[in-house]
Amino acid sequence: MADDRAATATLHRGLALEAFDSHLFRRNSATVTAKLEEYLDGTSIRGLRLTDPALLGRAARALMTRERQSIPALDEQKLSAIVDLYLRTGIQLHSPGYMGRQFSGVVPLAGVIELMTSVAGQPASFYEAGQLPNVVERIMADELNEFIGWDPERFSMVTTSGGSLANLTALLAARNRAFPRFWSDGAAAAGRRVRPAIAMGDNAHYSLSRAAGVMGIGEEQIVRLPVNRHGTICMERARPVLASAERRHLKVFCLVASAGTTSLGAFDPLEELADLAREKNLWLHVDGAHGASLLVSDRLRHKLKGIHRADSLCWDAHKMMFVPMPCTMLFYRNKEHGYGAFRQEASYVFEQEPDIYTALDSAEQNFECSKRPMIMSLWALWALYGPALFAEKIEYLCRLTQEIYHEVCAAPDFEALHRPEANILCFRYRPDSRLADAELHRLQLAIRNHIKAEGRFFISKVNVDGVAALRVVMMNHQITREHFQMLLDDVRNAGRTLLGNDQRRDKEKE
């Protein structure tokens, strides 16, 4: 009996160790890589086919071992099926049919680097745990600051897991500069009659109002600045709104500008907003999660004219720098402000006597303690290909968006809602100018749902002036003008079918 238990223990230990075996790792990697190679080579136009969650759940459960008492040997057929299921049910980022969101298919090499950082994990908040990630974070900060234009001796950069967290961190730094005792004393630090407030464009990303809520700043203390027909902050109307906020005892401490709004991809006037921020002693934060990447292009950099006057900048590399999610960089014009968001003592991680190693620690500047070395995939691409790789793809996508804008303008049954500034275009199918807004709204939503259900193209939607619009984001360099023309044909056919069905129902009611 004792011999049986010993043999069983030895077997279990062997199977447990097998899961960590390097030869098995190579075999598993080959299985997954072959599937990904096939995925990347696919030329079919495919969007997104939604699967009934119950069916998908059953398919996923069928791939799970039922063994609970011992460790089974790895079933490589199930591994292959898991990869197939994942790739088949996700958004097809590398297909010309994908035009829906602001995240893109990655440069494949970046995925290889992510594999390395996943297996050889190095938490990146502390130099001693992730030496190279912390060094290359400084290197990439210097490289990208060449395009921003801040004093190289005074600025700083820290990586965060996503633009939402970067925006929150910057707003915390701005608040703590304006109200130095807020961190320790809470809202009482602002005084009894003063209510801290944040000013932002009326179409700013929802993460900013969410960040305000996290900080205890209610919706009533968010000063919404009107936007013009281009979707950018209207300077003529911004000043009266700020004056009104002052009369309501709102103490605006931060002005947020957008460089590439989510809805339209519009760029707020940074120079004019910088003048306003300086005049009123406000922190100017730029949410450039989407559009900051245009800085690497000589042809497009002018969209962010005045960025050097901002106090902080959020920049998502997982959007227009084509690396895996999430990879966000938060820049500060004054590196001292980078330590202003969080003010804590923790002897188990923070060093009381800094040296050349701990000087590269970033944990005091970001919310995360354990943080992926997300900068590695961006640095590897930059190191091996340089900035031209990014600039050429970004320029192509923006040029393509201009071309499809003209396609929409030339079609009598479509209307373009703005001239694109980057790679986002909103438009509507409108065969009859007499359609009321409510009917037009329902039609666009129905068309979008029809297109998604067909599974050939994946597009998004957004409300523009209260009426739904179809929205495309050009993130894939494999998309051509011809692909967009095919999408317009599909939209037109869907619209005609939907309108015809509506007319038939109206006749039946008569």
Within-domain flag for 150? yes
CA dist., res. 450 & res. 365, Å (int): 46
Same domain, 283 and 407: no
CA dist., res. 506 & res. 510, Å (int): 7
Domain extent for 428? 389-509
* pLDDT at residue 199, as a whole number: 96
Between 160 and 130, where is the model more confident? 160
Residue 348 has pLDDT above 80, yes or no: no
**Residue 224 forms beta bridges with which residues?**
200
* pLDDT at residue 15, as a whole number: 59
The pTM for the full model equals 0.90
Within-domain flag for 13? no
Average pLDDT, integer, range 294-319: 97
* pLDDT at residue 237, as a whole number: 94
Residue 490 has pLDDT above 80, yes or no: yes
Same domain, 299 and 432: no
Same domain, 327 and 407: no
Residue 294 has pLDDT above 80, yes or no: yes
Give the DSSP per-residue string, 315-343. EEHHHHT--PSP-EEEEESSGGGGGSS--
Average pLDDT, integer, range 183-206: 83
Same domain, 342 and 195: yes
Percentage of the chain beyond pLDDT 70 is 92
Within-domain flag for 151? yes
Within-domain flag for 323? yes
Same domain, 127 and 270: yes
Same domain, 481 and 459: yes
Rounded to 10°, the helix 206-214/163-178 angle is 50
Give the DSSP per-residue string, 9-47. HHHHHHHHHHTT-HHHHHHHHHHHHHHHHHHHH--S---
Residue 422 has pLDDT above 50, yes or no: yes
Q: What are phi and psi of 294, to 5 degrees?
A: -65, -15
Average pLDDT, integer, range 258-265: 95
Same domain, 298 and 372: yes
CA dist., res. 398 & res. 372, Å (int): 31
Q: What are phi and psi of 76, to 5 degrees?
A: -70, -25
DSSP secondary-structure letter at 458?
B
Q: Where does the pLDDT of residue 202 fall: very low under 50, low under 70, confident under 90, or very high at 90 and above? A: very high
- 422-426, 445-449, 450-454, 502-506: least confident range: 502-506
Degrees to nearest 5, angle at CA 458 with 452 and 463: 85
Q: What are phi and psi of 40, to 5 degrees?
A: -70, -30
Q: How far is CA 155 from the centre of its chain?
A: 23
Q: How far is CA 30 from the centre of its chain?
A: 30
Note the pLDDT tens digit of each residue in 56-84: 999 999 999 998 888 888 899 999 999 99
Least Cα distance to 309 among 284, 330, 329 occurs for 284
Number of H helices, E strands in the chain: 16, 11
CA dist., res. 101 & res. 172, Å (int): 28
**Of 326, 351, 385, the domain-final residue:** 385
Within-domain flag for 66? no
Note the pLDDT tens digit of each residue in 14-27: 657 888 888 999 99
Q: Where does the pLDDT of residue 346 fall: very low under 50, low under 70, confident under 90, or very high at 90 and above? A: very low
DSSP secondary-structure letter at 309?
G
Average pLDDT, integer, range 312-324: 96
CA dist., res. 312 & res. 170, Å (int): 7
Note the pLDDT tens digit of each residue in 36-45: 999 998 888 9
41's tokens:
């080579």
Same domain, 271 and 379: yes
Q: How many CA atoms, within 13 angstroms, populate the side-chain half-sphere of residue 209?
A: 14
CATH of the domain at 230: 3.40.640.10
Residue 194 has pLDDT above 90, yes or no: no
Within-domain flag for 125? yes
Average pLDDT, integer, range 139-143: 97
Within-domain flag for 476? yes
**Of 350, 385, 420, the domain-final residue:** 385
Same domain, 352 and 477: no
Q: State the distance between the two ends of the chain, measured CA to CA, in whole angstroms.
A: 85
Same domain, 267 and 411: no
**Of 385, 419, 450, the domain-final residue:** 385
Within-domain flag for 252? yes
Same domain, 377 and 481: no
Q: 173 with 337: CB under 8 angstroms?
A: yes
Residue 218 has pLDDT above 90, yes or no: no
CATH of the domain at 419: 3.90.1150.170
Q: Where does the pLDDT of residue 506 fall: very low under 50, low under 70, confident under 90, or very high at 90 and above? A: low
* pLDDT at residue 504, as a whole number: 61
128 CB contacts (<8 Å, ≥6 apart)? 357
20's tokens:
């960590």
Same domain, 452 and 311: no
Q: In what order do the strands lie in the sheet with 328-332?
A: 156-160, 328-332, 312-316, 283-287, 250-258, 195-201, 222-225
Domain count, the chain: 2
* pLDDT, mean over the chain: 89
Residue 343 has pLDDT above 70, yes or no: no
